[in-house]
Chains A and B, each alone.
Chain A
Amino acid sequence: MVPSSAGRSPAPSRVGFSLFGAGSPALSRRTLMRGTALGAGALALPAALAACGGDDDKGSDSGSKEVSFGSNYSDPVPKTAMESVLKGYESKASKTVKINTVDHNTFQENINRYLQGTPDDVFTWFAGYRMQFFASQSLAADISDVWSAVGSGFTDALKKASTGEDGKQYFVPFYYYPWAVFYRKSVFQQRGYTPPKTLDEFKALCEKMKTDGLNPIAFADKDGWPAMGTFDYLNMRINGYDFHVKLMAGKESWTSSQVKQVFDTWRGLLPYHQPGANGRTWQEAAQSLVAKQSGMYLLGAFVGEQFTDADRADLDFFAFPEINSQYKQDAVEAPIDGFMVSKKAKNTSGAKDLMKYLATPDAELLFLKSSPNNVATHKDADTSGYSQLQKKCAELVGGAKQVSQFLDRDTRPDFASTVMIPSLQSFINNPNDVDGLVKSIEDQKKTIFTT
């Protein structure tokens, strides 16, 4: 999130200027006395306040009865949902869970420092390379024993996503949401559109939308990450999931013809995307979908949050179209959110016990009650309470041959944020210089992936 500039140098003082002799009348004795007291108090204050401020955080070393939980579920609705999930655990296991909530962005920005400092026993995190990175740095605890107890409830793909580079498990999945091309049913019905299955059909549909006065594809990349979804899908459709994974791991070259083909295909589609993407937030783009100004939007299922309850029933999606018949529509991008145990946990056994609970379908469903855009990961989760859209999401991911996690979770965070974000934005500004772009990415990649 947003670190602001700390300690800006104050105006050297609006004061300094009575250099020329204007002074102020001397303070009265009373004010001086007050001043002294204040001064003395100031010195004692930090100690006193820190002491009373520090009381509530006695730490979870008060025996194995308390487990601490570091959470980034800072939005009010997920926050309450998470609290109810953990209360469920408390009553079941007669233990206490101490929740430490930090706002979403700050939590992520700080994760490196957090895990090295005084982390909570269990913390919320994501699957993918981002998880493996911390595992390999010995900042996360091995929970393979938890998996041997609860692993049967998850598919192999999920187990793979929870496994670190050394073959041990470090992560327990909670829920996920797919990325797909969303549209409004009413708009499609009214204009007689049908969801396309191949790239050619997709292009034809875009043409039709254009002539009908709609903006075919909503598009926004002010925050830098939304465009990654488009890149991922294009890459997986054109070159296959394996190539994509290798590219993310730095094992394939960005100057290869495969990658160039991805960008060339994207350039062909750009005219159908909303112009001015780099100045638009994904929320504004989603609003254009809500307002029926745009026909389609490739985004995660959280796009539903932009719709009012009444309109949400009108929301539907289709899987990203096939481009290469070799790969069809096998891969689905579905980021998984879940939990890990920190290496420096004070109460590891309690933490693992909590993880076992969090891996149950009950816990997942309890959370999802207030989360209509996400889908449970457990095989046995009862899907009867799902909305139409949720059921479709579950089918999409369930039927996927491979599941990717999204670019910024599948690759090194420094590569994703310092190289890919600016590169994708510059591609959107200037899609014609693909050679220059991929060379720049490759050169930068070499400086990062060697370390």
Chain B
Amino acid sequence: MAMSDLAPTGTPATPPESGPRGRRPRRPRRSRRLAGRDVVVVAVLLGLAVVIDIAFIWGPTIASVVLSFSSWNGVGDITWVGGQNYDNIVNNYPPFWPALRHNLLWLAFLGLVATPLGLFFAVLLDKELRFSRFYQSVIYMPVVLSLAIVGFIAQLVYSRDYGALNSILGRTSHPTDWLGDPNINIWAVLAAVGWKHIGYVMILYLAGLKAVDPSLKESAAIDGANEFQTFWRVTFPTLRPINIIVLVITVIEALRAFDIVYAINRGRNGLELLSVLVTDNIIGEASRIGFGSAIAVILLVISLGFIVTYLVRILREEPR
């Protein structure tokens, strides 16, 4: 799924003989002229989608950016304070830097551990295997679970005095405080996140692997390559488009991570994350709308950074 596939001037693999249909052969497949009624249909439906997107997504986003320069409690008058919120966030808000670190740590963990594991399971399950549907379903199951149950499961497993993990490990005099010790709780949470993320990535890769031409693999085997070499030289390169998607997903998950830490302890004491800080300041009773919006804008800028990088890749690949 390279973005070049989407370029208006892309050349998908179709036979060049469109001559017999009486069309001008050289014309790139660009916007064909739409008949009158078509224009209306397209305008209405496409227009509806665009209007909804702009009105409900981009409008509020821009409004949030504007609000980030204000100090407002949601009820009274808005006072404009320039960059003061940003100054306070960076210098005067202890949870901010840990949150940023944790988001980056999240990204590293997902990118270097969870995603490769997802690929690993996908490769394992790509074979003709009995029960493979069972394995796939089980590994995917954590993905459909909601916030409440994941938070509860974390409590079940990691609670210092009552949890399963400490019961199994058997330490009773000085049990490890998996959730309460700010030095290790982020790792405990990342394990739980991996639990959810692996199934997600696995399904993506499974779909992609199923589309890999088996004859390629067979010819590699005939040439004497072992499984690992076959994978690395033949299969993996054809997965490139999926890698892009998975990369995008991973980045999104890392930057928007929220659920698990919020369910465990509302994202405090070692589990700070940027999205949680935004929530604390905007959603709750605290109502530091301007301040929270500033944190959100920082998160937005980081997200946009990735979007722009992605965009640059697309445009660069496009064979103009």
Contacts and interface: CB of A to CB of B under 8 A. Distances in A.
Interface of A: 2-5, 8-9, 11-22, 108-109, 111-113, 115-116, 130, 137, 139, 222-224, 276-280, 284, 288, 413-414, 416-418, 421-423, 425-426, 429, 440, 443-444, 447-448, 451
Given A414-B281, A447-B92, A448-B288, A2 B263 contact: yes
Given A279-B181, A426-B269, 8 more contacts: A4-B262, A5-B275, A8-B253, A14-B204, A17-B204, A276-B180, A279-B159, A451-B73
Given A137-B76, A418-B281, A15 B207 contact: yes
Contact of B285 (A15, A19, A112): A112
B160 A280 contact: yes
B6 to A, nearest CB: 12
Nearest to B275: A5
B28 interface: no
A17 B210 contact: yes
Interface stretch (B225-233, B240-248, B312-320): B240-248
B211 interface: yes
Interface in B177-230: 177-182, 185, 200, 203-204, 206-208, 210-213
Contact of B204 (A11, A108, A109, A440): A11
Given A17-B242, A280-B161, A112 B74 contact: yes
B274 to A, nearest CB: 13
B94 A426 contact: yes
Contact of B211 (A20, A279, A416): A20
B147 A279 contact: no
A451 B74 CA distance: 12
A413 B287 contact: yes
B71 interface: yes
Given A109-B284, A429-B182, A2 B245 contact: no
Interface of B: 1, 5, 71, 73-76, 79, 84, 88, 92-95, 146-148, 151, 159-162, 175, 177-182, 185, 200, 203-204, 206-208, 210-213, 238, 241-242, 245, 248-249, 252-253, 256, 258-259, 262-263, 265-266, 268-269, 275, 279-281, 283-288
A451 B94 contact: no
Contacts of A224: 266, 268
A278 B269 contact: yes
Contacts of A425: 268-269
Contacts of B79: 451
Given A222-B180, A276-B177, A417-B280, A5 B75 contact: no
A421 B272 CA distance: 13
B211 A418 contact: no
Given A16-B207, A418-B288, A429 B269 contact: yes
A8 B250 CA distance: 12
Most central of B84, B151, B160, B279 by chain A CB within 10 Å: B160
A21 B159 CA distance: 49
Most central of B1, B266, B280, B286 by chain A CB within 10 Å: B286
Contacts of A277: 180
Nearest to B87: A447
Contact of A4 (B146, B245, B288): B146
Nearest to B205: A17
15 contacts: A2-B147, A5-B275, A11-B249, A12-B245, A14-B204, A16-B242, A109-B284, A109-B285, A137-B76, A278-B182, A279-B179, A413-B286, A429-B269, A444-B93, A447-B92
Nearest to A139: B75
Nearest to B263: A2
A239 B127 CA distance: 72
Given A112-B287, A116-B75, A9 B252 contact: yes
A137 B72 CA distance: 12
Given A2-B148, A12-B204, A451 B213 contact: no
A22 B269 CA distance: 49
A8 B275 CA distance: 13
Nearest to A277: B180
A17 B288 contact: no
Nearest to B92: A443
Contacts of A137: 73, 75-76
Most central of A14, A223, A284, A448 by chain B CB within 10 Å: A14
Contact of A5 (B238, B256, B281): B256
A135 to B, nearest CB: 12
A156 B92 CA distance: 40
B169 to A, nearest CB: 15
Contacts of A20: 211-213, 238
A414 B71 CA distance: 13
A4 B147 contact: yes
Given A280-B160, A422-B94, A8 B256 contact: yes
Nearest to B95: A422
A17 to B, nearest CB: 4
A108 B245 CA distance: 39
B75 A4 contact: no
A15 B256 CA distance: 23
A345 to B, nearest CB: 17
Nearest to B209: A17
Given A5-B259, A19-B211, A224-B266, A418 B147 contact: no
B281 A451 contact: no
A16 B1 contact: yes
Contacts of A115: 75
B4 to A, nearest CB: 12
A111 B285 contact: yes
